[in-house]
Amino acid sequence: MDVKNDIRAEKAKTIKKEVYRNFPMVPRVVFGRDSFDQLGDILMTKRAHSDAPFIFLVDDVFEGENLVERIPLIFNDQIIFVSADEEPKTTQVDALVKQIQNTFTELPSGIVGIGGGTLLDLAKAVAIMLTNKGGSASYQGWDLVHKAALYHVGIPTISGTGAEVSRTTVLLGPKKKLGINSDFTTFDQVILDPNLTKGVSKEQWFYTGMDCYIHCIESLNGTYLNAFSQSYGEKALALCNEVFMGDLVEEESRDKLMMASWHGGMSIAYSQVGVAHALSYGLGYLLGVKHGIGNCLVFQHLEEFYGEGVALFNKMRQKHQIELPKAICKNLTEDDFDTMVCVAMKMEPLWENALGKNWRETITPEKLKSIYRKI
């Protein structure tokens, strides 16, 4: 009898025990100025055979630029230029997959994404959808992918999103803007070459860089924070401080922002983003406002949630003379506001991270509308 009770007690203990998430990380990464030129050697070992090409998805901002000549094409490799004017859509991913399947009889050796968060996310999604059945919209959510993706490589050309390290690819689908969050989403290889970010405009540098800064603020002030997230978040925040408030020479600034993005992305793996991202998703869904600028538009009005973070954000904005667009929501209807509020309120883990389990006590549709009206 005693033995049985002991076993039960033991079992109860194991049931109560917390189960921790088992995260994938990028298994291989190169860091260094002009490390892009090592891409050919890296891919060589991953070529299935000469009929199985590498497909390079490249931001069309590089069309006709020197970077394209440095892409190590051999056999029947193909470059597909993609515009980053709009954020990735599920229909776009499905069309790219079809295009690749119609062009080649064999499955490619791999997919290489070259660009900002938009191109990195497209590369991740295409790699997943080349080995998984159906349309990409059916995989938007958490852990819905069951087959390993094709080998995929991420090469960022602008720093801040953390898309190069994350296990998600954010897609605009028919019903929602949501990531394909899975263990198979994470890149197999990343090349961090800060020199690739040289051509970015000051405004875009700031918006995408602030995505990283806001990841840090939301992660470090969230209820999900643990020592793992904190260690990455604090490092990323310190690097953002140097980049946006210090007086670094340009080379150093590019190096450091690239590493800030990496650490910021790692920080939100175990925690979550927060209020700015939830509201920015609403703006993105209704108005197509892009992630980086959308976060900035929202974040400037979030003193009540992130007082110190917003104060420093304003200093950074002033130092770099960035004028954010105004009156974005001026001519919207009540229905429009309802749509944005609905999208934002659905981001439950973000609210719970920001404000705890009882977040619904502070976050009401009226509250959110009042913030949107200021934008």
Residue 153 or 196 having the CB closest to ligand NAD? 196
Q: Crossing angle, helix 275-287 and helix 365-374, to 10 degrees?
A: 70
* Candidate ranges 17-25, 68-76, 211-219, 245-253; the one touching Zn ion (CB under 5 A): 211-219
Task: Pick the binder of ligand NAD from 169, 181, 186, 229 (CB under 6 A).
Answer: 169
Segments in the chain forming alpha helices (H): 2-16, 39-44, 66-69, 90-103, 117-129, 202-220, 227-245, 250-270, 275-287, 291-299, 307-319, 334-345, 348-355, 365-374
Residue 297 binds to ligand NAD (criterion: CB under 6 A): no
Name which of 123, 145, 142, 124 is nearest 133 in CA terms.
145
Residue 52 or 163 having the CB closest to ligand NAD? 163
The least CB distance from residue 131 to ligand NAD, in Å, is: 19
Residue 52 or 126 having the CB closest to ligand NAD? 126
Task: Name the DSSP class of 174.
Answer: S
Q: How many CB atoms lie within 10 A of CB 32?
A: 14
Residue 84 binds to ligand NAD (criterion: CB under 6 A): yes
Task: List the interface residues with ligand NAD, window 253-282 (CB under 6 A).
Answer: none
* Candidate ranges 48-56, 166-174, 250-258, 348-356; the one touching ligand NAD (CB under 6 A): 166-174
Task: Pick the binder of ligand NAD from 97, 145, 196, 354 (CB under 6 A).
Answer: 196
The least CB distance from residue 6 to ligand NAD, in Å, is: 46
Q: How many CB atoms lie within 10 A of CB 208?
A: 26
- What would the two tokens of residue 273 be? 């983003």
* Candidate ranges 169-177, 193-201, 209-217, 311-319; the one touching Zn ion (CB under 5 A): 209-217
Task: Pick the binder of ligand NAD from 136, 197, 253, 271 (CB under 6 A).
Answer: 197
Greatest extent of the chain over all pairs of C-alpha atoms, in Å: 79
Residue 115 or 309 having the CB closest to ligand NAD? 115
Task: Pick the binder of ligand NAD from 47, 291, 301, 317 (CB under 6 A).
Answer: 291
Residue 211 binds to Zn ion (criterion: CB under 5 A): yes
Site string for ligand NAD, 323-352 (x = CB under 6 A): ------------------------------
Separation CA 237–CA 209 (nearest Å): 11
Residue written as tokens 């051999």?
74
Contact 274/350 with Cβ under 8 angstroms? Answer: yes
Residue 6 or 65 having the CB closest to ligand NAD? 65
Contacts of 218 (CB under 8 A, 6+ apart): 268, 272, 273, 274, 275, 276, 277, 306, 353, 354
Terminal CA-to-CA distance of the chain, rounded, Å? 68
Q: Can you give the binding site for Zn ion, defined by CB under 5 A?
A: 211
Q: Can you give the binding site for ligand NAD, defined by CB under 6 A?
A: 59, 61, 84, 87-88, 115-119, 121, 157-158, 160-163, 166, 168-170, 196-197, 199-200, 204, 208, 211, 290-292
